[in-house]
Amino acid sequence: MTSLTVKGNRGARFVPSALTIAARTLRKFVRTPQLIVFSAVNAIGFLVVFRYVFGGAVSLGNLSYVDFMIPGFVTAMVLFQGLGSAAGVAEDVEHGFFDRLRSLPISRGAIIAGRTLADTLLVVWALVLTTAMGFLVGFRLHTSVLSALAAFGLCVLYAFAFEWVFVAVGLFAGNAQAAQGMTLIVMPLTFVSSAYVPVSTMPSWLRGFADNQPITVMVNAVRSLTDGAVVQPLLHHDAAYFVWASLVWVAIIIAISAPLAVIRFSRQ
């Protein structure tokens, strides 16, 4: 924090301040290796369960279940990884770390952005391992490597957007235990979506919500970029439609949650 304090004497700029906060948070992650290891282990464990427990129960015609499920699982994982983010922010509030930062001439937005960036990088680590595990359990690309990289980039962008949500939850929660409980509210979004089964198999009263909520749109964007033409009969729209729709959802999520997080942080 020394470099940040020195800069603070003349008014630290947004980007250097955010990067300093992000670096501090990453060092905290490194000093807590179980946080890094178990977040990835849990994700891989769930992936194996979905692959081998449900894989034989879902028939998708010409598309194997593993090729259908892996893009959905990797995309939806950004929500599961966010549970720890909210608790970590609440813990920093409890321990007075944010109080010390508020005493410095730093942009309030830079402080929250730095934390969000660090948590996003932790999710990226889990995304890399989970994607690699997906190939090990049988997932295969039906498109180009460039499309696959674009799909992975979208997952990182989704993670960044939802991290703003979890940071805001952590700031409102008050303590780590409450933050973990509050983040469970968003978990049904992953199951009432196209992440694990086609939306067309759901009851009609549930299908309207599942089709139009952000996780479904994001999953379908990633799935279109990795499964290509073979998955189109299940999606009814092309990749461009889902990519643009998911980017709109990203903008909406950040536009709502980022100001909420900054305002809450400033008024605490």
DSSP codes joined into one string, 226-265: HHGGGGHHHHSS-HHHHHHHHHHHHHHHHHHHHHHHHHHH
pLDDT in tens, 36-49: 777 777 778 888 88
The per-residue DSSP string of 197-211 comes to S-GGGS-HHHHHHHH
Q: Supply the pLDDT for residue 162.
A: 94
Specify the higher pLDDT residue, 62 or 162. Answer: 162
Cα–Cα distance for residue pair 175/95, rounded to 1 Å: 10
Q: Supply the pLDDT for residue 9.
A: 42
Cα–Cα distance for residue pair 172/86, rounded to 1 Å: 9
Residue 10 has pLDDT above 60, yes or no: no
Helix 214-227, helix 239-267: angle, nearest 10: 140
Q: Supply the pLDDT for residue 220.
A: 96
CB 212 within 8 A of CB 248: no
Q: Supply the pLDDT for residue 268.
A: 65
Cα–Cα distance for residue pair 157/155, rounded to 1 Å: 5
This prediction has a pTM of: 0.86
Residue whose C-alpha is closest to residue 39's, from 128, 152, 154: 128
2-6, 151-155, 166-170: range with lowest mean pLDDT: 2-6
Q: Supply the pLDDT for residue 243.
A: 96
Cα–Cα distance for residue pair 193/47, rounded to 1 Å: 17
Q: What number is the average pLDDT over the span 258-268?
A: 85
H-helix segments, the chain: 2-8, 14-30, 33-53, 65-94, 97-102, 108-136, 145-173, 176-183, 188-191, 204-212, 214-227, 232-235, 239-267
Cα–Cα distance for residue pair 101/131, rounded to 1 Å: 36
Structure-derived torsion over alpha carbons of residues 85, 86, 87, 91, reported in degrees to the nearest 10: 100
Q: Supply the pLDDT for residue 86.
A: 85
Residue 134 has pLDDT above 70, yes or no: yes
Residue 59 has pLDDT above 70, yes or no: no
pLDDT, mean over the chain? 84
CB burial string 86-123: b at 16+ within 10 A, e below: bbbbbebbeeebbeebeebebbbbbbbbbbbbbbbbbb
What is the CA angle 150-156-159, rounded to 5?
A: 145
